[in-house]
Structures are given as structure tokens and as C-alpha cells.
């Protein structure tokens, strides 16, 4: 037969387990509306001197008054931007971002927390956090924002005494890009002739003008000028025939991987952990 002490021990253990379960249910119901929500960052590199976009989306909430969006940057004392209850709240905005930030207020209710950044500076590069709180919960997305300069090249044919020359020119690049040429004749691939590339510092002393010349141009061949750095790649194509010249250009940026993290533990996890915590006291 079990001793009186053993019976009392099992009775106390049962009471503690039941009490823990009740408390867990109460807390679970109380915080179920404050679970973690999904927040995702989508980013394209910023082009110096132009407007940039730091993309951020979250689970929509039809109650605009409950939505708070905070953008922050690592190493910056103040906030980058704060949007709360349908309005901007910029009292804590860092001076470096004053007059340059904007959220898409009419799209917030649909889950868009993206930030428009005007006149991108080289120094805007860094780690950003998009924090969103709604009536459903809260979440955070972290992204690495790169800044530089990139532009679409223009490729054209120039005639000289020694024959036709192709010129590939792009007005603004940073960091310094590489330039390469490829050539495909109608009969198959061939290597291009010698190319001469130069870089000229622009007036703002940051970006570079890129000019590349390709010699020994032949007819019935498609030439491609490729300009590329760590954040963007641009191509200029030109087809040379006996009768005319046609061309096209393309510019694409390199999207970096982003990280989405939740800032709170779901209520169901608290319900599972609480009895363990109480029994271990």
C-alpha cells in the first residue's frame, strides 16, 4: 500500500498540473491575439541620387488604427521612419533621413510596409529592420541594403579611317564595374577584337562615366557590351549588317537574400512551456 506521504505527493502533483493547465489556457486565450506575424523584406539596391525602395510586407489587418510600422537602421540613434494609427510620427526620426522617407499610406491596410527613400546617398547602405505590430501580433524583417550607381549603356557605331568602331557608353556607375564584349556572327560564335575601356570621374566625385571602344567590327554580327559590378549588370546589344544597325539595351540589379524573423513566441508555445516551468519551481 502507498504511504500517506506518497499519496500527498501525488495529490499535490495532480493539483499543480491541473492548475498549470488552467493558467496556461487563460494566458493562451489572453495572448492568442498577440501571436507572431509574418513580416518579409524585399529589396533592390539603391541608385545614388535617385529614389530607392526598401520593401516590406506583412499579414494584412483591416484595423488601421492598430498598425504600427517602424523602420530602423543599425548604428543610427534615431528611427528611420515611424507610421502609427494611419499617420506618420517622425518626432524620433534621425536627422540623416529627415525629408527623405515615405510609406505608402494607402497600401498599409493591405499589408505593405515598404519605405520609399528619396535621393539615395552612398551612406544609406547598411542593415535595416522593418518592425510591424498589428492587433494580431508583431514581427520583424531584417535586410541588408546596398547602394551604388548603375545606368543603361548606349551602344553605337562610329566610322573611322581604319574601319567601323563600336562605342559602349554609360553615364553613372559605382563601384567601378568591369566591361566585356562578346560577338556572335550569323555563322556562329567568334571572339571580339581588341577593346579599350576608360573610366571618368563625374562631377560629384563618386560615380564614374564608362566608355568602351571595340575595334575590328564586321558585318552580319551581333555584339554585346556587358557592364557589371557587385549590385547591377547592364547589357547593350547591337546587330551590324551590310545595310543597317539595330540595337537594344537591358539593365538588371542584383537582389540580395533577406531574412524574415518573428519577434514574439506564438501563444501555443507558451501554453506548452508554462506547466514545465511551474513543475520545475
Average pLDDT over residues 156-181: 87
Beta-carbon contacts of residue 200 (< 8 Å; ≥ 6 apart): 208, 209, 211
User: Alpha carbon of 86 to those of 63, 105, 227: distances in Å?
Assistant: 10, 7, 43
Domain ranges of the chain: 39-148, 154-256
Judge whether residue 62 has pLDDT over 70: yes
Mean of pLDDT values over 34-44: 85
pLDDT at res. 22 = 47
267-279 helix and 4-31 helix, angle to the nearest 10 degrees: 160
- Is the distance from CB of 223 to CB of 186 less than 8 angstroms? no
Q: How many CB atoms lie within 10 A of CB 63?
A: 11
- Mean pLDDT of the region 68-92: 96
| pLDDT given for residue 216 in this prediction | 81
The gap from C-alpha 9 to its chain's centroid, in whole angstroms, comes to 58
Residues 253 and 45 sit within 8 Å (Cβ to Cβ): yes
- Domain 39-148 in CATH 2.60.40.10? The answer is yes
Cell of 260: 524574415
- For 214-272, write each residue's pLDDT tens digit: 988 888 888 999 999 999 999 998 888 765 566 565 666 664 443 444 343 333 332 33
Q: What local confidence, expressed as pLDDT, does residue 217 receive? A: 83
pLDDT of residue 95: 96
Residue 93 scores a pLDDT above 60: yes
Cβ neighbours for 212, distance < 8 A, ≥ 6 positions apart: 167, 168, 169, 179, 181, 195, 196, 197, 198, 225
Strand-pair category, 245-253 with 178-185: unpaired
Closest among 11, 17, 61 to 277, alpha carbons compared: 17
| pLDDT of 25 above 70 | no
In this predicted structure, what is the pLDDT of residue 78?
95
Please determine, looking at this structure, whether the domain spanning 154-256 carries the CATH number 1.10.1040.10.
Answer: no
Residue 160 or 66, more confident: 66
Q: What mean pLDDT is predicted for residues 155-177?
A: 87
Place of cell 506518497: 6
pLDDT given at position 169: 96
Amino acid at each position: 500500500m502507498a504511504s500517506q506521504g506518497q499519496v500527498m505527493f501525488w495529490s499535490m502533483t495532480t493539483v499543480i498540473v491541473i492548475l498549470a493547465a488552467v493558467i496556461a489556457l487563460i494566458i493562451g486565450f489572453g495572448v492568442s491575439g498577440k501571436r507572431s506575424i509574418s513580416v518579409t523584406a524585399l529589396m533592390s539596391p539603391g541608385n545614388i541620387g535617385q529614389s530607392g525602395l526598401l520593401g516590406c510586407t506583412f499579414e494584412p489587418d483591416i484595423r488601421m488604427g492598430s498598425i504600427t510600422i517602424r523602420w530602423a537602421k543599425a548604428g543610427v540613434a534615431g528611427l528611420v521612419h515611424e507610421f502609427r494609427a494611419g499617420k506618420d510620427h517622425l518626432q524620433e526620426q534621425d536627422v540623416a533621413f529627415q525629408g527623405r522617407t515615405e510609406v505608402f499610406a494607402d497600401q498599409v491596410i493591405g499589408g505593405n510596409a515598404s519605405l520609399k527613400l528619396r535621393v539615395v546617398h552612398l551612406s544609406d547602405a547598411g542593415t535595416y529592420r522593418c518592425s510591424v505590430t498589428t492587433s494580431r501580433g508583431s514581427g520583424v524583417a531584417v535586410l541588408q541594403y546596398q547602394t551604388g550607381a548603375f545606368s543603361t549603356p548606349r551602344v553605337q557605331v562610329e566610322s573611322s579611317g581604319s574601319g567601323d568602331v563600336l562605342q559602349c557608353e554609360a553615364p553613372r556607375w559605382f563601384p567601378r564595374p568591369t566591361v566585356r564584349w562578346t560577338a556572335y556572327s550569323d555563322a556562329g560564335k567568334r571572339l571580339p577584337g581588341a577593346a579599350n575601356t576608360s573610366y571618368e570621374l563625374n562631377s560629384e566625385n563618386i560615380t564614374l562615366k564608362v566608355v568602351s571602344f571595340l575595334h575590328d567590327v564586321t558585318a552580319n554580327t551581333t555584339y554585346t557590351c556587358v557592364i557589371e559590378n557587385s549590385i547591377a549588370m547592364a547589357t547593350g546589344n547591337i546587330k551590324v549588317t551590310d545595310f543597317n544597325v539595330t540595337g537594344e539595351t537591358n539593365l538588371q540589379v542584383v537582389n540580395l537574400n533577406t531574412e524574415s524573423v518573428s519577434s514574439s513566441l506564438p501563444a501555443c508555445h507558451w501554453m506548452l512551456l508554462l506547466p514545465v516551468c511551474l513543475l520545475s519551481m
